[in-house]
Amino acid sequence: MKILFVGDIVGRPGRRILSANLPHLREEHALDAVVVNAENAAGGLGVTPHILDEMTTLDIDGITLGNHTWRKRELAGELDRFDSVARPANYVPGLPGRGSVIVRLADGRRFGLICVVGRVFMEPFRCPFAVAQQEVARLREATPVVLVDIHAEATSEKMAMGWHLDGQCAAVLGTHTHVQTADERLLPKGTAYITDVGMTGPYDSVIGLEPERAVKKFLTGMPNEYRLANGPVCLNAVVVDVDEETGLANSIRRVAHVAE
């Protein structure tokens, strides 16, 4: 099974480049499934039910979120109806939505999808390592193919998650920092890993934002309006090829594209 995982979609520019390139990517890589991280898809912060509905028309099979899940208040009341969307599993129990999901494809095949948020430099959520391992074991009762999105700041925490779950799932894929790393690899026991898949959004930017505003904030320490950059747009992703019998990866390949 070949699965494309698309890095953090940032605002309308990210949604547009994904829509324009997804048919070609499906054909070029002979994809069986597409997963995207959409926690920044609405103006660069959060996602709305309308945008999630829009994404289902783009032939997207699974969606992960992250620490901005609740930025748009309207999502809380509707998240339960999206059965292929995984918000962080290590949130407080009882919140809307699902932390792990079984994604069912049109041909009857299926795979598991889990999202956890890191704790280093972030809010003190439940332990992502314990929660991810628990959810992997639970989903593997339904399908051997399971992907984990570790949405975290620290490279060390993401790497530790990869080693923690090596041999237990198909892939551990880092998101959140919006910069694609060049460390994609197969870990010794067969789990595909990358520290950060990257960002799908404005290219001439600071993680999607206007460079001038980002620089001013760092220089002055003063709050600034959150405004997306204009100009070229990039699409960052990885293609993970998974053995459907063992649930382990055969390969992982980075995808990076920039369009005017």
Count of C-beta atoms within a 10 Å radius of residue 156: 12
Cβ–Cβ < 8 Å for 28, 34: no
Whether 164 sits among the annotated catalytic residues: the reply is no
Pair of tokens at residue 115 = 């999202």
Residue 24's H or E segment, with its range, is helix 11-28
Write the Ramachandran bin of 62: left for phi over 0, alpha for psi from -120 to 50, otherwise beta: beta
Measured between alpha carbons, how far is 179 from 30 in angstroms, rounded to an integer?
A: 26
Question: What backbone phi and psi angles, to 5 degrees, belong to 207?
Answer: 45, 40
| Nearby residues of 219 by Cβ (< 8 Å), 6 or more positions away | none
Q: How far is 180 from 197, CA to CA, in rounded Å? A: 5
**Interhelix angle 155-165/128-139, nearest 10 degrees:** 40
Catalytic one of 68, 164, 176, 178: 68
> In whole angstroms, how far apart are CA 130 and each of 65, 117, 133, 142, 159?
19, 12, 5, 20, 15
| CA angle (177 as vertex; 175, 182 as ends), nearest 5 | 75
**Which positions are annotated as active-site residues?**
68
